[in-house]
Amino acid sequence: MIRAAMMPLLTACALLAANMLPAHAGRVVADLSQSNVSITSGFHGTELLLFGAVDGQDTDDIIVVINGPPTDIAQHRKAKVAGIWINVETHIWKGAPALYQILATRPIAEIADAQVLEQFEIGADKLQLLVQPARPNPAGDMPQASALLPSLTRNMAATGLWPSEIGPVKLTQGALFRATVQLPANVTSGVYDVRILQFRNGVAFSENKTNIYIQKGGLSAMIYNFAHDYSLLYGLFAIAFAVAAGWLAAVAFRRK
């Protein structure tokens, strides 16, 4: 109900911002209902409202790309050795997005061709990522990113961080648009880029950017900061806590 009440005010602000833009500025403006998200111990994911206005036509399209902070992702390949499944090969994806999500007015393949989508890195299969072996290869051979990327996208989609489904963007009379950004429960802290692109006849001619700031809050934030700022003390405390817990468990079972 609160979101529904806010929608007229939010869209009016976006339309006013669009009318105030100079002639040489971009033709799309957007904002989020909430740009700062706090992750607490009870965080189970959340939804953010993305809204905006465009100076366009009824046939224009909007594509929104949410790109998480760069991180290194390990990808393992398992094989059966002596009847046991073990990791036989590990590759590290350098600077891969922790979250990658796309929203659009219709299927992106209908909005632009593959070359344009690759140019703007729209689609998990269009990401230009660097992959390298976890251990130096004696032969000096480097893994082929194009061959390994489909496996990575499937694994990340299974975690909900790179959803394969395209979220909807509702565009009204080529002027106002809104969409829902889904943040999963396992999202990490960091700065997330939100790119809003306006397409016409397969060509991207306007772009706007905003950010989502996610940070830990509450008790989990205190523990996280303490572990990073005072790693030695945190390690000693963890060892002492484990010893104490083991001693108490032994005493409890001995009494029984």
User: Using one digit for the tens of pLDDT, what is the confidence trace for 166-195?
Assistant: 999 999 888 899 999 999 999 999 999 999
Give the orientation angle of helix 218-229 with respect to helix 231-255, to 10 degrees: 120
Average pLDDT of the residues in 91-108 = 95
CA distance 173 to 63: 16
Average pLDDT of the residues in 93-103 = 95
pLDDT recorded at residue 252: 65
CA distance 99 to 131: 17
Average pLDDT of the residues in 32-54 = 90
CB atoms within 10 A of CB 126: 16
Of residues 136 and 63, the one with the higher pLDDT is 63
**How does the average pLDDT of the chain come out, rounded?**
81
In the structure, what pLDDT confidence band is assigned to residue 100 with cuts at 50, 70 and 90?
very high
CA distance 193 to 32: 12
Amino acid letter at 17? A
Residue written as token pair 């009318």: 19
Spatial contact of 196 and 209, defined as CB atoms under 8 Å apart: yes
Rounded to two decimals, the pTM is 0.74
From residue 50, alpha-carbon distances to 6, 150, 158, 207, 227 in Å are 12, 29, 25, 15, 35
Task: Calculate what percentage of the chain has a pLDDT beyond 90.
Answer: 50
Spatial contact of 182 and 194, defined as CB atoms under 8 Å apart: no
Residue written as token pair 């572990």: 227
CB atoms within 10 A of CB 30: 23
**Does residue 214 surpass a pLDDT of 80?**
yes
**Does residue 23 surpass a pLDDT of 70?**
no
Average pLDDT of the residues in 15-35 = 62
Give residue 79's Cα distance to chain centre.
30
